[in-house]
Amino acid sequence: MKIVHLAESRVFEEKGFKRFLLHDSASFRILNFNLMAGQIFPVHNHPAEGQVSIQVLEGTGQFLGGENAEIPAAAGDILVCDIAEPHGIRAESDMRILVTIAPPF
């Protein structure tokens, strides 16, 4: 049993988005990314089994998908997709996201 405090990783950086590995096990990997307004987590995908969830903790922006898809993303919104599907995020304000990958690849 382990407790993670998201308040402890509330760090932003002008030179690029910040990445915090919060938990990693055979079951899932949990990460927190913090993006300043204008920063982008580029669209990517991995040839792996499993799914990923991207939960917006704070701020607003756009979920990014294949073929230049953009879907509004605000606090309380969660994108769920296959790890193999293109996904990314663009911050319009300072933005924190929680990413869960299951199983880790």
Count residues contacting a second copy (CB under 8 A)? 34
The CA distances from residue 87 to 7, 42, 45, 61, 64, in Å, are 25, 8, 7, 14, 5
CA 85 to chain centre: 14
Stretch that binds a second copy, among 11-19, 21-29, 33-41 (CB under 8 A): 21-29
Residues contributing to the site for a second copy (CB under 8 A): 1-7, 22-23, 25, 27-28, 30, 49-51, 53, 55, 57, 63, 65, 71, 76-81, 85, 87, 98, 100, 102-103
